Amino acid sequence: MKTAVFRRAQLAGLIVPLLLSAGAWTVTLPAAAQPAPVVRTLPDFTDLVDLVSPAVVNIRTMERARARGGDDGAMDPEMQEFFRRFFGVPMPNLPRPGKPNRPAPQAPDEEVPRGVGSGFILSADGYVMTNAHVVDGADEVIVTLTDKREFKARIVGADKRTDVALVKIDASGLPFVKTGDVSRLRVGEWVMAIGSPFGLENTVTAGIVSAKQRDTGDYLPFIQTDVAVNPGNSGGPLINMRGEVVGINSQIYSRSGGFMGISFAIPIDEAMRVSDQLRASGHVTRGRIGVRIDQVTREVAESIGLGKPQGALVRNVEGGSPAEKAGVEAGDIIVRFDGKTIDKASDLPRLVGNTKPGTRSTVTVFRRGQNRDLTMTIAELEPDAVAASGKPAARSSEPAKAANTAQALGVTVTDLTDAQRKELKAKHGVRVTAVADAAARAGLREGDVILAVSNVEVASVREFEAAVAKADRSKPVNMLVQRGDLVQFVLVRAAR
């Protein structure tokens, strides 16, 4: 059998090249063997541009000159906007090559160009969406349409947390965009951007969706694309192949100041929720529960029995907050909010923020190896509220009780005095008085308060040493540690 197959293969190897070289014969594969086409044709964006571009606008902002010297050779407005947005620092007063610094002949209160950006019309009566950073600090906003008409715009409202702003121009019968369904957007799908990079109006660029739900640390998950976006594109629309806006181009990743293949857009469904509130009241109302949170690492998840890294680790509970009233404790891991799973810590503030204040909600926390459902009433997040930073651990002058040492872990602890409990607001725990070896390598410090060991609460030195004795030394020993007013898990690997 093997010989017959080999001879047939030899024969085919001789005949097929002869047939192909003769040019008079063709080989047709059965239909089942035909490979499916991967790409039928490259996309044509011309119709999309004709459809959407009339609703895309250029936005220029102006500010009043203050009574101080200037620099007529200073950086262009679009580059100033770039530094404000992407480096988070004041614009450097750098002269252009060959132009010396000298006071600009500007009178106080004279309006001078400040920055450029893009936007798109949401309705025929003149509501325009853009980025909050495009209009932030502007004394005047000028909107230019594709037909070259210019309008002074009124800022209806801006939300810095999501970087969404809504402005209004006095016009009617305007062309406007159609919004798309972000849930239907797929990674690899073609998308297009229209904007004013570097002030070049109605510039069209295209690419594909690189990722969805990209967490960059901002309040919203982003759509990541490889569409060329540069300073001045901010606030312009990201458009799918059906001519629908699916996002607002908002950020770029760059080390050089130019496009480097990665750009980010705010999902349009999230932006529309914000704009609806801005249109109704001029500001955005968000819910809050009063916790400071952190990510759950894989090692911590495994050591406490959570299984996989998910949820939001509660590092601090604000006094008098909805979370405290509901019984949430520092060290809890919030794994669900109103039945929705918290995959990563950043999911929680987004879900809570989208909840109307006054709503009764249920949070599920993982504590000491078990899930618990807690009910709370959502409070209102104050505009631009900033959480208070943690205070250093208190050092009491009162004498502590005699300390014992868990030798294998390299940590010495002592019981908390009543004064220390009151100052630290700790219901239980033991205070670290010295660290060495494994404990020092794990990051424990003198003054830390150990609240639990291997999911077991400890209220005294005796309970601490009992919990350490029962811990599996072949695995990292997880300790719930309070430092100042923040709580975190520390994994201590015992010396072998």
Name the nearest CA neighbour of 385 among 277, 286, 271. 286
Catalytically annotated residue among 133, 196, 332, 485: 133
- In angstroms, rounded to a whole number, what is the distance separating the alpha carbons of residues 332 and 364? 10
H-state helical runs in 53-148: 77-82, 132-135
Q: How far apart are CA 404 and CA 414, in angstroms?
A: 7
Neighbours of 152 (CB within 10 A): 12
Q: What is the residue type of 252?
A: I
The count of C-alpha atoms lying within 13 angstroms of the C-alpha of 399, restricted to the half-sphere facing its C-beta, is: 2
For every residue of 193-229, DSSP letters joined together read EEE-GGG-TTEEEEEEEEEEEE--SSSS-EEEE-S--
Kind plus residue range of the DSSP H or E element containing 28: none
Q: Alpha-carbon distance 346 to 220, whole Å?
A: 9
Is 147 known to be catalytic? Answer: no
Number of neighbours of residue 1 by Cβ within 10 angstroms: 5
Answer for the pair 267, 184: CB distance below 8 angstroms, yes or no: no
Q: 267: helix, coil or strand?
A: strand
Read off the tokens for 254.
Answer: 């760059």
C-alpha dihedral sign at 342, 345, 350, 356: positive
Measured from the Cβ of residue 396, the count of other Cβ atoms closer than 10 Å reads 16
Which of 136, 159, 163, 448 is flagged as catalytic? 163
Q: Which of 438, 420, 439, 437 minimizes the C-alpha distance to 429?
A: 420
Q: Which amino acid is at 452?
A: A
Q: Exactly one of 118, 234, 303, 361 is catalytic; name it.
A: 234
485 is annotated as an active-site residue: no
The rounded Cα 52 to chain-centroid distance in angstroms is 28
Q: Report the alpha-carbon distance of residue 427 to residue 390 in Å, rounded.
A: 18
Instruction: Determine contact, residues 346/318, Cβ cutoff 8 Å.
Output: no
| 428 included as an active-site residue | no
Among residues 97, 130, 101, 95, the alpha carbon closest in space to that of 116 is found at 130
Which residue shows structure tokens 């699916």? 246
In contact, 226 and 210? CB cutoff 8 Å = yes
Measure CA 184 to chain center.
21
Catalytic residue numbers? 133, 163, 234
